């Protein structure tokens, strides 16, 4: 099917793009001449293994060093790091330095690869549709990239993808180099004078910010970079979906369209990724949630979900799991208000930086806001009385309800909501306690994620360009975090310059059964909020007053989001300890129902979730019929239709009760009950149950005490 007709802005393509290229080339020529005039003194380049390579200042590039090591490395290295700063492979080195090289198998390499792929996508979109490009990063999930653009009246959909991909592959085939220039604010405004979105970005940049512009083929784009050497490294690229977006995430601004893409260095990996997406679609938490009657949402409360009885069982189990650990790990639970006067958020800084994401309420001519996070409220709790160093560390936990005014277009099932709860906690401690507290949080994370069956990666995000506080405080905090990570004993990486402005942090990304990555847990140091709220405690020294350090931490993160991740991770098959349907008792006849209810009562009193199948399955008085889609009866045959498969059972050869029993078991298996307990007259006489386990064909006969002991063992082992 050909893509719908669209109006291409020919003037934009014929005049704007050539003008940008001309300005880019003019500035590039001047900068190359300047670099050639500089002294090309010898420099020493130190590699991670300690070996030293020789080069020339303003002449040798990381690519030259890679070629000197091996042809294979030069063919696969995507990006470099020079003294802790990511650096284009073809950008000349400026002095003696330490050099690291990254391939696609590293986070740095993948992120750069996908960021560069976004430029290739942007080039195709701009040349094909004459749209005004906005931003095009790699995704925060770490899987692919997207580009936001303004198209006017054109609505993109999957019918456009073939032509978009064709344009992208054309750029790949041309082996377009990624070229970099540095420009002044005035030059940047001139280059992008025809794109109001880029102009707004430029005008908002700090005065002292170095502005960089990149070119690949006809695309000239405002970008801090860095990028892969050229477009030919992207051997496989595909569009995934198109959606709406708002400029700068503000629902009151221009409506944009976002195209998501994925790319790889070879077709095999792209094919594997597409297969993984197809597999993931089968287990989308929204569909599984409907099938298992766990939750739903309603247009009268968008972004806020209703949890049904079975879903509430899981939700509560997750909360109880964390709360039990709180008792063992020295946390104190608190409950804080849902709504605060905006003066609180002015003190914390959220009024200036987060107000548009808050729900605001006018009360008696004063402005209040529903809390989007717990930390300012916890500062008030800390400050409500005089504190002593003897009370520290103070670990304060809160499952309070949070509200964030997410744009309607960004709402995605349980993973992006407006109303949610976090297993939120804040640790107030002395600087000397940071290392031990951080290690304790890491051990908590490891315990929980091991129970869930996740693997995870750790990164230490260090001081960004713009930060608050003293340099020596940051250096001490980063050293404490690094030491805690080393003592923790798991592999970790440095994420240079990606810390929050108020303190360094440890980023934890988990991988589920489908090998998808998610950011759930949080561990951040904060020197800023204690300063803003003037928090103090009396020190050991007489009359000494000190300010605490605040550690923000969450293990599950949003309970709603973790619920969704686990539902997909387990593919709808909940482990027994977390399952909302731990067991069902299936009586094979009406005579067995009283005993089935007795069994249920014993199991419920032991603290487990158990249902009883009391469905009336009689037709006339002679036959028992079970059907999944429709039921058909004839005098000599029993016909059962299940998911388009027709099974005919000759009643002359098979007893009705045995058919009933097998179909009860099948129904229970499809409903994902962990244990199916079949009871008949024989079981009622002996006080036993016939036990079948989900997804297993065999069965065993057990008495109730033995069954409950098995349930207890599974619960304690989190199985």
Task: Identify the CA nearest to 451 among candidates 716, 707, 141, 674.
Answer: 716
Range with the poorest average pLDDT among 42-51, 269-278, 417-426, 659-668: 659-668
Contacts 24+ apart (CB under 8 A), 615-624: 617/660, 623/651, 623/656, 624/656, 624/657, 624/659, 624/660
Is 505 marked active-site?
yes
Based on the number of CB atoms within 10 Å of its own CB, is 193 exposed (0-12), middle (13-18) or buried (19 or more)?
middle
Which residue would you say has higher pLDDT here, 658 or 251?
Answer: 251
Mean pLDDT of 611-638: 46
Is the CATH number 3.50.50.60 carried by domain 285-336+371-563? no
Is 216 marked active-site?
no
Supply the pLDDT for residue 352.
Answer: 83
Residue 37 CA to its chain's centroid (Å): 48
Cβ-based neighbours of 23, under 8 Å, separated by 6 or more = 187, 190, 191, 220
From 285, 426, 439, 714, the catalytic residue: 426
Strands 42-46, 97-102: pairing is parallel
From 176, 422, 528, 582, the catalytic residue: 422
Per-residue pLDDT at 239 exceeds 90: yes
Distance, in Å, from the CA atom of 596 to the CA atom of 687, rounded to the nearest integer, reads 10
Cβ-based neighbours of 103, under 8 Å, separated by 6 or more = 76, 77, 78, 109
Give tens-digit pLDDT for 49-85. Answer: 999 999 999 999 999 999 999 999 999 999 999 998 9
pLDDT band of 616, cuts 50, 70, 90: low
Supply the pLDDT for residue 634.
Answer: 37
Mean pLDDT of 158-177: 96
From 64, 398, 424, 526, the catalytic residue: 424
Mark out the alpha helices in 223-266 (DSSP H runs).
none
Distance, in Å, from the CA atom of 439 to the CA atom of 134, rounded to the nearest integer, reads 41
Supply the pLDDT for residue 185.
Answer: 94
Supply the pLDDT for residue 661.
Answer: 60
Q: Do domains 110-279 and 576-716 have the same CATH topology?
A: no
Q: How many residues does the chain have?
A: 719
Find where tokens 């001309």 sit.
Answer: 22
Find where tokens 């496989």 sit.
Answer: 236
Mean pLDDT of 690-695: 90
Domain residue ranges of the chain, discontinuous segments joined by +:
39-102, 110-279, 285-336+371-563, 576-716
CA angle 511/515/517 to nearest 5° reads 45
From 160, 180, 505, 714, the catalytic residue: 505
Supply the pLDDT for residue 406.
Answer: 85
Strands 675-679, 305-307: pairing is unpaired
pLDDT band of 142, cuts 50, 70, 90: low
Per-residue pLDDT at 418 exceeds 50: yes
Mark out the alpha helices in 420-459 (DSSP H runs).
434-452
Per-residue pLDDT at 340 exceeds 80: yes
Distance, in Å, from the CA atom of 288 to the CA atom of 293, rounded to the nearest integer, reads 8
Range with the poorest average pLDDT among 107-121, 140-154, 337-351, 680-694: 140-154
Helix axes 471-488, 434-452, angle to 10 degrees: 40
Task: Identify the CA nearest to 89 among candidates 80, 100, 76.
Answer: 80
Mean pLDDT of 567-589: 94
Is the CATH number 3.40.50.720 carried by domain 39-102? no
User: What percentage of residues in the chain have a pLDDT greater than 70?
Assistant: 91
pLDDT band of 653, cuts 50, 70, 90: very low
User: In angstroms, what CA-CA distances link 103 with 69, 77, 232, 460?
Assistant: 14, 5, 15, 20
Per-residue pLDDT at 713 exceeds 50: yes
Distance, in Å, from the CA atom of 49 to the CA atom of 64, rounded to the nearest integer, reads 18
Supply the pLDDT for residue 140.
Answer: 62
**Which two tokens mark 321?**
């799991």
Which residue would you say has higher pLDDT here, 642 or 557?
Answer: 557
Supply the pLDDT for residue 143.
Answer: 78
Range with the poorest average pLDDT among 274-283, 323-332, 550-559: 274-283
Is 685 marked active-site?
no
pLDDT band of 9, cuts 50, 70, 90: low
Give tens-digit pLDDT for 356-371. Answer: 889 999 999 999 999 9
From 180, 378, 395, 552, the catalytic residue: 552
Task: Identify the CA nearest to 262 among candidates 228, 232, 239.
Answer: 239
Other C-beta atoms lying within 10 Å of the C-beta of residue 386:
9
Give tens-digit pLDDT for 431-444. Answer: 999 999 999 999 99
Task: Identify the CA nearest to 2 among candidates 162, 155, 131, 168.
Answer: 162
The alpha carbon dihedral of 321, 324, 326, 350 has a sign of positive
Give tens-digit pLDDT for 84-129. Answer: 899 999 999 999 999 999 999 998 999 999 999 999 999 999 999 9
Supply the pLDDT for residue 575.
Answer: 97
Per-residue pLDDT at 618 exceeds 80: no
Give tens-digit pLDDT for 500-515. Answer: 877 899 989 888 877 7
Supply the pLDDT for residue 107.
Answer: 85
Distance, in Å, from the CA atom of 440 to the CA atom of 355, rounded to the nearest integer, reads 33
Task: Identify the CA nearest to 200 among candidates 208, 192, 210.
Answer: 192
Supply the pLDDT for residue 151.
Answer: 92
Cβ-based neighbours of 591, under 8 Å, separated by 6 or more = 681, 684
Q: Are 588 and 660 in contact (CB under 8 A)?
A: yes
Across the chain, mean pLDDT equals: 88
pLDDT band of 622, cuts 50, 70, 90: very low
Task: Identify the CA nearest to 503 among candidates 470, 459, 456.
Answer: 470
The CATH number given to 110-279 is 3.30.980.10
Distance, in Å, from the CA atom of 343 to the CA atom of 96, rounded to the nearest integer, reads 51
pLDDT band of 10, cuts 50, 70, 90: low
What fold characterizes domain 576-716? Rossmann fold (3.40.50)
From 97, 131, 138, 375, the catalytic residue: 375
Per-residue pLDDT at 397 exceeds 80: yes
Distance, in Å, from the CA atom of 566 to the CA atom of 322, rounded to the nearest integer, reads 15
Mark out the alpha helices in 38-195 (DSSP H runs).
62-69, 71-76, 107-129, 161-173, 185-191
From 180, 215, 227, 404, the catalytic residue: 404
Give tens-digit pLDDT for 184-203. Answer: 999 999 999 999 999 999 99
Distance, in Å, from the CA atom of 172 to the CA atom of 233, rounded to the nearest integer, reads 8
Is 422 marked active-site?
yes
Distance, in Å, from the CA atom of 383 to the CA atom of 502, rounded to the nearest integer, reads 20
């Amino acid at each position: 099917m050909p893509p719908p007709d669209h109006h291409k802005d020919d003037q934009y393509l014929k005049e704007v793009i050539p003008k940008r290229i001309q300005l880019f080339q003019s500035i590039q020529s001047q900068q190359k001449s300047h670099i050639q005039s500089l002294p090309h003194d010898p420099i020493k380049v130190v590699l991670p293994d300690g070996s030293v390579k020789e080069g020339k200042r303003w002449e040798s590039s990381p690519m030259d060093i890679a070629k000197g090591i091996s042809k294979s490395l030069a063919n696969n290295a995507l990006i470099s790091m020079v003294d802790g700063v990511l650096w284009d492979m073809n950008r000349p080195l400026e002095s003696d330095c330490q050099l690291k090289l990254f391939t696609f198998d590293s986070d740095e390499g993948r992120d750069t690869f996908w960021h560069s792929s976004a430029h290739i996508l942007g080039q195709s979109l701009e040349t094909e549709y004459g749209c005004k490009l906005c931003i095009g990063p790699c995704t925060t999930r770490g899987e692919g990239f997207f580009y936001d653009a303004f198209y006017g009246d054109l609505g993109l959909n999957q019918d456009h993808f073939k032509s978009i991909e064709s344009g992208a592959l054309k750029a790949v085939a041309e082996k377009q180099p990624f070229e970099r220039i540095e420009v002044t604010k005035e030059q940047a405004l001139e280059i992008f004078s025809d794109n109001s979105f880029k102009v707004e970005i430029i005008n908002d940049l700090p005065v002292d910010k170095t502005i960089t512009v990149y070119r690949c083929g006809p695309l000239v784009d405002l970008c801090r970079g860095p990028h892969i050497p050229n477009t030919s490294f992207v051997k496989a690229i595909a569009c995934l979906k198109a959606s709406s977006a708002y400029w700068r995430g503000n629902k009151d601004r221009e409506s944009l369209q976002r195209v998501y893409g994925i790319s790889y260095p070879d077709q095999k990996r792209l094919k594997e990724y597409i297969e993984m997406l197809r597999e993931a679609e089968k287990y989308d938490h929204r569909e599984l949630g409907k099938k298992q009657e766990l939750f739903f949402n309603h247009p009268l409360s968008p972004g806020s979900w209703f949890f049904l009885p079975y879903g509430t069982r899981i939700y509560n189990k997750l909360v109880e799991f964390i709360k039990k650990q709180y008792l063992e790990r020295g946390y104190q639970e608190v409950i804080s208000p849902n709504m605060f006067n905006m003066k609180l958020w002015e003190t914390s800084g959220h009024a200036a930086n987060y107000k548009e994401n808050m729900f605001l309420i006018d009360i008696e001519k004063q402005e209040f806001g529903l809390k989007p996070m717990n930390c300012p409220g916890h500062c008030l709790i800390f400050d409500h009385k005089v504190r002593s160093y003897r009370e520290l560390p103070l670990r304060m936990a809160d499952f309070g309800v949070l509200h964030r005014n997410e744009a309607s277009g960004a709402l995605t099932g349980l993973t992006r909501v407006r109303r949610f709860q976090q297993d939120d906690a804040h640790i107030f401690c002395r600087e000397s306690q940071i290392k031990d507290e951080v290690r304790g949080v890491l051990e908590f994370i490891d315990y929980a994620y091991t129970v869930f069956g996740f693997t995870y990666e750790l990164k230490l995000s260090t001081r960004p360009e713009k930060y608050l506080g003293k340099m020596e405080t940051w250096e001490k905090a980063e050293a404490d975090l690094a030491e805690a990570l080393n003592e923790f004993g798991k592999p970790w990486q440095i994420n240079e310059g990606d810390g929050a402005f108020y303190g360094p942090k440890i980023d934890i990304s988990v991988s589920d059964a489908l090998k998808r990555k998610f950011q759930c847990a949080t561990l951040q140091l904060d020197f800023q909020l204690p300063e803003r709220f003037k928090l103090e405690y009396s020190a050991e020294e007489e009359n000494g007053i000190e300010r605490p350090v605040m550690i923000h931490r969450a293990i599950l993160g949003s309970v709603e989001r973790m619920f969704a991740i686990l539902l997909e991770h387990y593919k709808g098959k909940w482990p027994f300890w977390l399952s909302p349907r731990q067991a069902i008792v299936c009586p094979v006849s009406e005579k067995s129902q009283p005993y089935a209810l007795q069994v249920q009562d014993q199991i419920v009193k032991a603290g487990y979730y158990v249902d009883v199948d009391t469905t009336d399955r009689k037709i006339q008085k002679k036959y028992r019929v079970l059907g999944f889609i429709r039921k058909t009866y004839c005098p000599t045959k029993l016909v059962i239709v299940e998911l388009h498969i027709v099974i005919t059972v000759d009643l002359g050869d098979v007893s009705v009760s045995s058919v009933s029993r097998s179909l009860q078991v099948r129904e229970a298996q499809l409903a994902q009950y962990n244990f199916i307990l079949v009871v008949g007259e024989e079981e009622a006489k002996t006080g036993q149950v016939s036990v079948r386990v989900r997804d297993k064909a065999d069965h065993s006969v057990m008495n109730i005490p033995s069954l409950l002991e098995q349930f207890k063992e599974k619960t304690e082992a989190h199985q």
